[in-house]
Amino acid sequence: MSLMSEKLAARPKAGIPDAIIMGIAIIFVVGLKTFAGACVHDDGSAAACEIAAGTLFGLGLVAVVIAIMRIRANDYSSKRSYDIILIVLGLIFALAPGNLLDICTGEYMQCVNVMLPFARIMGCLLAGCSFAFELLFDLDR
């Protein structure tokens, strides 16, 4: 066997866990720009919820990049490291809006009724799936 074929045989294959994590990250980013975005203000002023949505969008892009890096990982220890990073990012997604990032407090505002639950649900999904897949890799070897 050549050296290149040995490296390819030792590399973990991208599978269903990678697709699920990538899908969650992409849905989070696309959702923040479509249906779960910030409130629209008529006067053109930047509200706190728009700043929170922009911050979450940037963190979502980081999650997509890390998910791509997780797919391209060469060994299981690298995948485990990316899983730990994704767990932390998922917890930030879930806890940041409303706690660390201010959002509008209006009763019928879109950021309170749509963006906040969306970020919390997707953050918990990302953290939970990453944690579960990290445990699966531990049991798989």
At 65-84, the pLDDT tens digits run 999 998 888 887 888 889 99
| Residue 76 resides in a domain | yes
Q: Taking every pair of C-alpha atoms in the chain, what is the biggest distance, in angstroms? A: 68
How many distinct structural domains can be found in the chain? Answer: 1
- Average pLDDT of the segment spanning 37-51: 71
The pTM for the full model equals 0.81
| Residue 6 resides in a domain | no
| Residue 5 resides in a domain | no
| Residue 135 resides in a domain | yes
Residues 6+ apart with CB under 8 A from 24: 122, 125, 126, 129
Q: Residue 21: which of 73, 65, 69, 67 has the closest Cα?
A: 67
| Residue 3 resides in a domain | no
CA 60 to chain centre: 5
Which residue range is the domain that position 69 belongs to? 15-34+41-140
At 29-42, the pLDDT tens digits run 999 898 887 776 66
> What percent of the chain has pLDDT above 90?
33
